[in-house]
Structure 1
Amino acid sequence: MAIHIKNNEVAVFAIGGLGEIGKNMYGIQFQDEIVVIDAGIKFPEDDLLGVDYVISDYQYLVKNRSKIKALVITHGHEDHIGGIPFLLQQLPEIPIYAGPLALALIKSKLEEHNQLRTTELHELNEDSELKFRKLSVTFFRTTHSIPDTLGVAVHTPQGIIIQTGDYKFDLTPVGDQPAPNLQRMAKLGSEGVLLLMSDSTNAEIPTFTKSERFVGNSLRHIFEKIEGRIIFATFASNISRIAQASETAMANGRKIAVFGRSMEAAMVNGRELGYLHIPDDAMVDVNTLNHLPANKVLILCTGSQGEPMAALSRIAAGTHRQIHIQPGDTVVFSSNPIPGNTTSVNHTINLLEEAGAHVIHGKVNNVHTSGHGGQEEQKLMLRLMKPEYFMPIHGEYRMLRIHTDLAELCGVPKDRSFIMENGDVLALTKDSARIAGHFAADDVYVDGSGVGDVGSMVLKDRRVLSEEGLVVVVATIDYQHGDILAGPDILSRGFVYMRESGELISQAQRRVFRAIRTTFKGDTPPTEGAIRDAITDTLQDFLFTKTERHPMILPMLVNAKA
Structure 2
Amino acid sequence: MHEPYLTITPLGGLGEIGLNCQLWETPGGVVMVDCGLMFPDDAHLGVDVVIPHFGAVSAIKDKLLGIVLTHGHEDHIGALPWLVPELKGTRIYGSPFTLALVEHKLREREILDWVELCPVSAKTVLPLGDLTFHFFPVCHSIPEGFGLGVETPVGRVVHSGDFKIDPHPLSGSGTDLRLFRDFAGPEGARLLLSDSTNAMREGRSLTEREVKDSLDNIFATAQGRIVITLFSSHIQRIQEVFDLARAHGRTVVISGKSLANNIEMARDLGIAKLPPAFFNAHNGVPDLPDNQIVLVVTGAQGEPLSALSRMVLGGHRQLDIRKGDTVVMSSRMIPGNAKAISKLINEMYRMGAEVLYESVHAIHASGHAQRDELREMFAAVRPQLFIPIHGEYQHLVKHGRLAAECGVPQDNVVLLEDGQPITLRPNDFQLENRVPVECTLVDGKG
2:377 is the counterpart of 1:389: no
CA distance in 2, matches of 1:285, 1:155: 46
CA distance in 2, matches of 1:274, 1:360: 31
Aligned to 1:422: 418
What do residues 227-261 of structure 1 show as CA deviations (whole Å, max 9, x unaligned)? 21111100001111111111111110011111000
CA distance in 2, matches of 1:85, 1:320: 29
Aligned to 2:183: 188
Q: Where does 1:108-127 land on structure 2 (aligned, <5 Å)? A: 108-127=104-123
TM (normalized to structure 1)?
Answer: 0.77
Question: For residue 44 of structure 1, what is the amino acid of its counterpart?
Answer: P
Question: For residue 376 of structure 2, what is the amino acid of its counterpart?
Answer: L
2:20 is the counterpart of 1:47: no
* Deviates most, 178-187 or 304-313: 178-187
**1:134 equivalent among 130, 140, 150:** 130
Question: For residue 331 of structure 1, what is the amino acid of its counterpart?
Answer: V
CA distance in 1, matches of 2:67, 2:199: 27
Question: For residue 190 of structure 1, what is the amino acid of its counterpart?
Answer: G
Q: CA deviation at 1:264?
A: 0.6
Aligned to 1:17: 13
CA distance in 2, matches of 1:328, 1:10: 59
Q: Is the 1:195–1:388 contact (alpha carbons within 8 Å) kept by the matching residues of 2?
A: yes
Question: For residue 121 of structure 1, what is the amino acid of its counterpart?
Answer: L
Aligned to 1:160: 156
TM (normalized to structure 2)?
Answer: 0.97
CA distance in 1, matches of 2:309, 2:328: 13
Question: For residue 329 of structure 1, what is the amino acid of its counterpart?
Answer: D
Question: For residue 197 of structure 1, what is the amino acid of its counterpart?
Answer: L
CA distance in 2, matches of 1:367, 1:448: 33
CA distance in 2, matches of 1:388, 1:273: 39
Question: For residue 14 of structure 2, what is the amino acid of its counterpart?
Answer: L
What do residues 420-460 of structure 1 show as CA deviations (whole Å, max 9, x unaligned)? 1111111112321111221111111111243xxxxxxxxxx
What do residues 108-139 of structure 1 show as CA deviations (whole Å, max 9, x unaligned)? 10011111122210111111111134221111
Q: Which runs of 5+ in 1 are unaligned?
A: 1-5, 451-562
Q: Is the 1:289–1:297 contact (alpha carbons within 8 Å) kept by the matching residues of 2?
A: no
Q: Is the 1:391–1:417 contact (alpha carbons within 8 Å) kept by the matching residues of 2?
A: yes
Q: What is the aligned residue count?
A: 443
Q: Where does 1:297-316 land on structure 2 (aligned, <5 Å)? A: 297-316=293-312
CA distance in 2, matches of 1:81, 1:15: 14
Question: For residue 379 of structure 1, what is the amino acid of its counterpart?
Answer: R
Matched residue SS, 1:27:
strand
Question: For residue 178 of structure 1, what is the amino acid of its counterpart?
Answer: S
**2:66 equivalent among 62, 67, 70:** 70
Q: Where does 1:128-277 land on structure 2 (aligned, <5 Å)? A: 128-175=124-171, 177-190=172-185, 192-277=188-273
CA distance in 1, matches of 2:280, 2:84: 37
Q: Where does 1:513-532 land on structure 2 (aligned, <5 Å)? A: none
Question: For residue 179 of structure 1, what is the amino acid of its counterpart?
Answer: G
Matched residue SS, 1:122:
strand
Q: Is the 2:163–2:175 contact (alpha carbons within 8 Å) kept by the matching residues of 1?
A: no
Q: Is the 1:314–1:320 contact (alpha carbons within 8 Å) kept by the matching residues of 2?
A: yes
**1:284 equivalent among 279, 300, 306:** 279
Q: CA deviation at 1:288?
A: 6.4
Matched residue SS, 1:391:
strand
Aligned to 1:543: none
What do residues 279-316 of structure 1 show as CA deviations (whole Å, max 9, x unaligned)? 4x321244763411111111111001000000000001
2:325 is the counterpart of 1:321: no
Matched residue SS, 1:338:
coil
**1:408 equivalent among 404, 409, 415:** 404
Q: Which runs of 5+ in 2 are unaligned?
A: none
**2:443 equivalent among 428, 444, 447:** 447
Identity %: 37
Matched residue SS, 1:364:
coil
Q: Is the 2:6–2:423 contact (alpha carbons within 8 Å) kept by the matching residues of 1?
A: yes
2:76 is the counterpart of 1:100: no
Matched residue SS, 1:11:
strand
Larger helix fraction of residues: 1
2:421 is the counterpart of 1:438: no
Query: Which structure's CA Rg is the greater one?
Result: 1
What do residues 156-192 of structure 1 show as CA deviations (whole Å, max 9, x unaligned)? 11111211110000121123x1122221111012164
Matched residue SS, 1:284:
strand
Q: Is the 1:194–1:430 contact (alpha carbons within 8 Å) kept by the matching residues of 2?
A: no
Distance 1:54 1:7, change over 3 A: farther
Matched residue SS, 1:117:
helix
Matched residue SS, 1:64:
helix
Aligned to 1:361: 357
* Deviates most, 256-265 or 287-296: 287-296
Q: Is the 1:54–1:443 contact (alpha carbons within 8 Å) kept by the matching residues of 2?
A: yes
CA-based RMSD of the aligned residues comes to: 1.4
Aligned to 1:453: none
CA distance in 2, matches of 1:110, 1:133: 26
Displacement over 3 Å in runs of 4+ = 285-290
What do residues 362-392 of structure 1 show as CA deviations (whole Å, max 9, x unaligned)? 2321111110000111111111111111000
Bigger RCO of structures 1 and 2 (CA < 8 A, at least 6 apart): 2
Aligned to 1:485: none
Q: Is the 2:420–2:433 contact (alpha carbons within 8 Å) kept by the matching residues of 1?
A: yes
CA distance in 2, matches of 1:154, 1:33: 15
